[in-house]
Chain A
């Protein structure tokens, strides 16, 4: 089955800096890669996603890139703000794991004012 590795496990940045979180996946047939943000005590919220037929997608300060050959995808947050502080999870699905989102271990992002 699919296996997703996420790095780093913790990330601390100053307000205004950029943050990058990277994930690798094992199943080359996976074709959908969402990112979720989970604030303390709240539900995971879908913030951006990308499909395998696209190399990059951007939504305001958030972007995701996908390298199918290397089987990795990354979340980029620019001009970080304190409210970006949360746990971020990447996930992958498709291929042999269709319908089952396999999540990375999560990254605790802390943005210092």
Chain B
């Protein structure tokens, strides 16, 4: 069974551009979570989607947004990129609300803003 997959693995963008990151959850999982891991720091919660709806949002500006598709895959969009957005973006999935909270992570997308 495939785990959580993310694409692309690496992404290099120029300041001011937009970045789109994609995540495919484990089969059967309906919840998708996005986290930012800046170099040397811990994991900061960005967004949680379940059954196509945004359920919770972390303390990030509105230029961080996303969505979840009917097949439960998700994308994270970052607009007006800033240098400090450079980080590893991790996606995780779980069975979803009331069915299980164990979250399993993808390998991440390394975003570099130059």
Contact = CB atoms under 8 A, between A and B. Distances in A.
A32 to B, nearest CB: 5
Given A49-B102, A99-B31, A99-B56, A43 B108 contact: yes
Contact of B58 (A34, A49, A100): A100
Contact of B50 (A32, A49, A99): A99
A51 to B, nearest CB: 9
A45 B92 CA distance: 10
Contacts of B61: none
Contact of B102 (A34, A44, A103, A106): A34
Interface residues on A, range: 20 to 34
Contacts of B97: 99
B95 to A, nearest CB: 12
Interface residues of B, number: 24
A105 B105 contact: no
B106 interface: yes
Given A99-B50, A99-B56, A32 B42 contact: no
B104 A46 contact: yes
Contacts of B106: 43
Given A44-B90, A89-B42, A106-B42, A99 B102 contact: no
Interface in A39-95: 42-46, 49, 89, 93-94
A101 interface: yes
